[in-house]
Structure 1
Amino acid sequence: MPWACACSFLNAPALVLVGEFLAHGPAEIAFLPARPGPLVLSQFHTTASSGAVTRLVDMGIDPYLVASSLSAAVAQRLIRRICKSCKQQISNDDIPEKVVKEIAKSCSIEPEAVQIFHGTGCPACGGTGYKGRVAIYEFFLMDEQLEDMITRGTTTVAVRDHAKSSGMRTLRMNGWEKVQAGLSTIDEVLRITTSYDLHYDL
């Protein structure tokens, strides 16, 4: 794969898509030309968008190179979608107050405006209450302070904290937006964001 990555840059492309960086060689080749010109897109298996930074450094890429070349990182997870055929609204009184308040805060609404739905189960969904999937996302953009943090050496938690303080919408926050929109359930959002050990407090 290293030779394929190197050859792909010979014609000075504007965009290069690399399926996944699994080793130091291809990643370093991709990052060297990324600074002056081409946009390089790739993927990693990490728990959150902030994990991309430490994953690259752990692979042996110089922190300065990561800081100067990385533009943004995106994380995506799929959660089950509520079945439209048996979708019903449930009372907020049946939901822990802390959860309702967190949903309200994430959606910038009053707790009284929170709407929660679930699927009761029907033949269309095989009795599960779910049918299909919907994605939840989070992403952060690089800034000068984050570049400095990476160059000096940092952790995934520190990167994540900085991204959140700079306005990043986390996976859970985006999940709560899907709950408020009636697309998925509280259980689904908690299942995904908790199982990946994303340091959420609830």
Structure 2
Amino acid sequence: MIGEIRDQETANIAVEASITGHLVVSTLHTNSAASTITRLADMDIESYMIADAVVGVIAQRLLRRVCPDCKKMVPLTEFEKEEMHIRPEYRSREILVPQANVGSDCMRCGGSGYQGRVGIYEIMPMSNMIKRIIIREGSAEEIENQAIREGMKTLVTSANQYVLQGITTIEEVHRVAYGEE
């Protein structure tokens, strides 16, 4: 177990340990699973070594849960339906999603509109195709697109599912998954 990979020296130690047969679990601050690969490359780790050493990447974030006692249900706008990739055949329907009731006199959440948190995840196993993209020094976007083709759900997709299930709000998804404050 290596705490956090912050520099080239730690990255080299992690890669060398992995290549010599050790299971290495570590953290690295990036925006997505795919950008973890390009971050390692930015630390001057050779692409063939990254492809050989990494078996998978998990990205995670926490979203605030909307308070179940005081949340309001509001219809999605056309723009929001498009942004959330709602299939065209469902866009004509009214789709209700939660909105935080900030400033209410709710005893459960104290007027914050939120109570508790829920995790969103991206799980990207290394396939042969992703390894090929890494070796030819493809972009994080190329890596992510291939991972999606192979079945990976992005942080945004995971978060949007929680919105549609009434667990969190669109505003919270924007704050966490897109980094908007």
TM-score normalized with structure 2 length: 0.85
| Deviations, residues 96-143 of structure 1 (Å, cap 9, x unaligned) | 12423554748xx94548441223232332222112222211121111
Partner SS for 2:173: helix
Residue ranges of structure 2 left out of the alignment (5+ in a row): none
TM superposition shift of 1:80: 1.3
Report the counterpart of residue 99 of structure 2 in structure 1: 118
Residue ranges of structure 1 left out of the alignment (5+ in a row): 1-16, 197-202
Question: How many Å separate the matches in 1 of 2:9 and 2:81?
Answer: 47
Give yes or no for the alignment of 1:171 onto 2:155. Answer: yes
Give yes or no for the alignment of 1:79 onto 2:63. Answer: yes
Give yes or no for the alignment of 1:24 onto 2:19. Answer: no
Cα separation, partners in 2 of 1:19 and 1:104, compared to 1, 3 Å:
same
Report the counterpart of residue 78 of structure 2 in structure 1: 97
Query: What is the alpha-carbon root mean square deviation over aligned residues?
Result: 2.2
Greater share of residues in helix? 1
- Taking only the aligned residue pairs, the percentage that are identical comes to 33
Tell whether the 8 Å contact from 1:104 to 1:114 is kept in structure 2 after alignment.
no
Partner SS for 2:115: strand
Question: How many Å separate the matches in 1 of 2:72 and 2:94?
Answer: 16
| Deviations, residues 7-66 of structure 1 (Å, cap 9, x unaligned) | xxxxxxxxxx11101122222122123134221111111111111101111112111110
Partner SS for 2:123: strand
Q: How many residues align?
A: 175
State the AA in 2 paired with 1:181. Answer: Q
TM-score normalized with structure 1 length: 0.77
Give yes or no for the alignment of 1:194 onto 2:175. Answer: no
Tell whether the 8 Å contact from 1:103 to 1:177 is kept in structure 2 after alignment.
no
Moved beyond 6 Å, runs of 4+: none
Question: How many Å separate the matches in 2 of 1:96 and 1:86?
Answer: 21
Report the counterpart of residue 44 of structure 2 in structure 1: 60
State the AA in 2 paired with 1:59. Answer: M
